[in-house]
A = this chain, B = another copy of it.
């Protein structure tokens, strides 16, 4: 299985240009799944609810249609963060789109900073989907800092975490995603945007350094702190099904939930 990310720097509000960039970046790509950034159609730094309302769309909206066309063209699967409208509510969501269509939606459970002003916390739990028989889950950005999130995915059999991000705290997720991968024996594909988003009264700089990690916590591929970067690596997802670290230790079976009371 070939998994990858495309690190880039979406421009706030320029949905069409951002999506066009994915078309260009993925030209000729050979991958089973490629992860794109959080809020990767709209940009991240909303200043008010009106801006969210103006760009949010349903999971089967035009951004989905665009990705579906792209997924069919390259016979691949794509993961992209987007501001989701569902009835009167808005979520910081991620969609998984394949040649067959919309395969899954995840709504960010752990909202970061001012996202709390605009988005509802995710109400779909941590669903697991299948890509050609391989179980995958999605997390979005700040979720990485809560070990429970990846753990719940692992306990449901997820072999790969697909992780669109817009990280602003340097190096933390580059460490934590390695440890999450180790402690759950999973693969992890983190796509983090880079660049500065200057909205006048507010500004954020994102940290790049997207990375793909194996179930031993080793980095298989990574990107620099700045710059567009497409990386695809071949992995054996079966390695994420074996949770043993010694002949007597299985990292999921050795858990003792009766002691945790979490």
Please measure, in the bound complex, the distance between the C-alpha atom of A248 and the C-alpha atom of B119, giving whole angstroms.
14
Q: Is A132 an interface residue (CB 8 A)?
A: no
Asked if B217 and A172 make an inter-chain contact with CB atoms under 8 angstroms apart, the answer reads yes
Q: Mark A104-119, 1 if CB is under 8 A from B, else 0.
A: 0000011111101000
Q: Which residues of B contact A180 (CB under 8 A)?
A: 179
Minimum CB–CB distance for A202 against chain B, Å: 13
Interface 9-mer from A5-13, A226-234, A252-260: A252-260
Please measure, in the bound complex, the distance between the C-alpha atom of A262 and the C-alpha atom of B156, giving whole angstroms.
11
Using a CB-CB cutoff of 8 Å, which residues 38-83 of chain A contact chain B?
none
Asked if A109 and B259 make an inter-chain contact with CB atoms under 8 angstroms apart, the answer reads yes
Q: Is A251 an interface residue (CB 8 A)?
A: yes
Using a CB-CB cutoff of 8 Å, which residues 111-168 of chain A contact chain B?
111-114, 116, 121-122, 125-126, 142, 145-149, 151-152, 155
Q: Which residues of B contact A257 (CB under 8 A)?
A: 148, 262
Q: Which residues of B contact A235 (CB under 8 A)?
A: none
Please measure, in the bound complex, the distance between the C-alpha atom of A180 and the C-alpha atom of B254, giving whole angstroms.
19
Please measure, in the bound complex, the distance between the C-alpha atom of A179 and the C-alpha atom of B114, giving whole angstroms.
24
Asked if B262 and A260 make an inter-chain contact with CB atoms under 8 angstroms apart, the answer reads yes
Out of B145, B169, B179, name the residue touching A175 (CB < 8 Å).
B179
Q: Which residues of B contact A251 (CB under 8 A)?
A: 145-146
Stoichiometry, copies per complex: 2
Q: Mark A180-204, 1 if CB is under 8 A from B, else 0.
A: 1011000000000000000000000
Contact-residue size bin, chain A (C-beta under 8 Å from the other chain): 35 or more
Assuming the contacts A255-B146, A259-B126, A262-B257, asked whether A113 and B183 have C-beta atoms less than 8 A apart, the reply is no
Out of B110, B176, B256, name the residue touching A182 (CB < 8 Å).
B176
Q: Which residues of B contact A262 (CB under 8 A)?
A: 148, 151-152, 155, 257, 260, 262
Asked if A261 and B152 make an inter-chain contact with CB atoms under 8 angstroms apart, the answer reads yes
Out of B126, B169, B179, name the residue touching A176 (CB < 8 Å).
B179
Please measure, in the bound complex, the distance between the C-alpha atom of A179 and the C-alpha atom of B246, giving whole angstroms.
23
Q: Is A29 an interface residue (CB 8 A)?
A: no
Q: Which residues of B contact A217 (CB under 8 A)?
A: 172, 175
Q: Can you list 24 residue pairs at the A/B interface with Cβ under 8 Å? A: A109-B256, A109-B259, A112-B249, A113-B246, A116-B248, A121-B256, A126-B259, A142-B249, A145-B182, A145-B251, A146-B183, A146-B254, A146-B255, A147-B148, A147-B151, A148-B260, A151-B262, A152-B262, A155-B262, A172-B182, A175-B175, A175-B179, A176-B183, A257-B262
